[in-house]
Amino acid sequence: MTEIRERAEHGIPVLRAREIKKEYRLGELTLTALRGVSLSVYGRELIVILGPSGSGKSTMMNILGGTETASSGEVYYREKALDWSDQDALTLYRRKHVGFVFQFYNLLPGLTALENIQLAGELSEHPIGAEELLKEVGLSDRASHFPNRLSGGEQQRIAIARALCKNPDILLCDEPTGALDSKTGIQVLRLIYDFSRSYQKPVVLITHNANIAKMADRVIYFKDGLIEREEGNASPLPPEEIEW
C-alpha cells in the first residue's frame, strides 16, 4: 500500500531499490553492509542521507549509481531493472544517466579546469555548456589552470561542474562538503541546490553534517545497514540559511 500511495503522489520514481543486500567476504568472515534496503527517488527532489560511518549509506549510493553490485535485491532505473551481470550495460547506465560528486575531487591532473568539464560533456547526448558551467561556479578566470593550481574549494566546484556538464538524470553526491570550510561548503551546496531546482532533477546527498538536512525535501537516516527512519521537510532552507 505504501508503494501504491507514493506512486499516486509522486509518479513513477527515477530510481527504485527493492530489498538491497550487500555482503563482503573477508577470508572466512562475511561483513554485511546492507540488510534489505528499499527506497525510491523521485524527480525534482533533493534527498539527504544521514548516518554514522559504517551504516551502509555510501554502499547504497554506489549501488544506486551502478559502481557496485548488490548481493541480492533489485534497482530499477525508470522501471527497468539494472542487470548486475552485464558490466557493459552498467557502464552505459553510469555514462548516460548518473552524475557523481565525491568528497575527493578526482580531477584529471593533466587537464585544465575547462578541459576537465568538457571531457564529461563528451560523454553526454545533451550536455550543458562547459563555459556556461564554469561561469556558474564562479571560476571563469581559472579556465586554463590545472588542478594543482586550484584550491580545494575551487577543485570541488570544478568537480561539480564536471558532473553537471553531462546533464545527468540523477546527481549522487557523497560527502561533497566534507573537506571544505563553511563558506566554500555553502557555495558548493548552493550549486547542488540550484541544479535540483533549476533543472528539476533528483539529487541524493550523503553527509555527516546533520544541519545540511535542513535543505532537503526528504531526509533518510541509515543505521546498521538499514533505513532507521525517513522524514519529509515541508519547508527546505536555502543553503545560505544553514548553520554550519
Q: State pLDDT tens for residues 135-181.
A: 988 899 999 999 999 999 899 899 999 999 999 999 999 999 888 88
Q: Which of 33, 38, 35, 36 is nearest to 16 (CA)?
A: 38
**Which DSSP helix (H) or strand (E) runs through 121?**
helix 113-121
pLDDT of residue 55: 95
Answer whether residue 219 shows pLDDT above 90.
yes
For the segment(s) 44-70+83-241, the CATH number from 1.10.760.10, 3.40.50.720, 1.20.950.20, 3.40.50.300 is 3.40.50.300
Mean pLDDT value of segment 205-231: 96
Secondary structure E strands in the chain? 15-26, 29-41, 46-50, 72-77, 80-81, 98-102, 170-174, 203-206, 218-223, 226-232
Residue 189: predicted pLDDT? 92
Mean per-residue pLDDT over the chain, rounded: 91
- Whether the Cβ atoms of residue 171 and residue 99 lie closer than 8 Å to each other: yes
pLDDT at 10: 60
Residue 46 has pLDDT above 80, yes or no: yes
What is the pLDDT at residue 7? 44
Among 4-18, 41-55, 187-201, 228-242, which stretch is predicted with the lowest mean pLDDT?
4-18
Asked whether 186 and 239 are in contact (CB, 8 A), the reply is yes
Report the SS3 class of residue 151. coil
| pLDDT at site 137 | 87
pLDDT value, residue 62 = 96
pLDDT average, residue stretch 1-12: 52
* Mean pLDDT value across residues 205-226: 96
pLDDT given at position 198:
87
Q: How far is CA 244 from the centre of its chain?
A: 20
* H or E element at residue 209: none
For residue 104, pLDDT over 80 is answered with yes
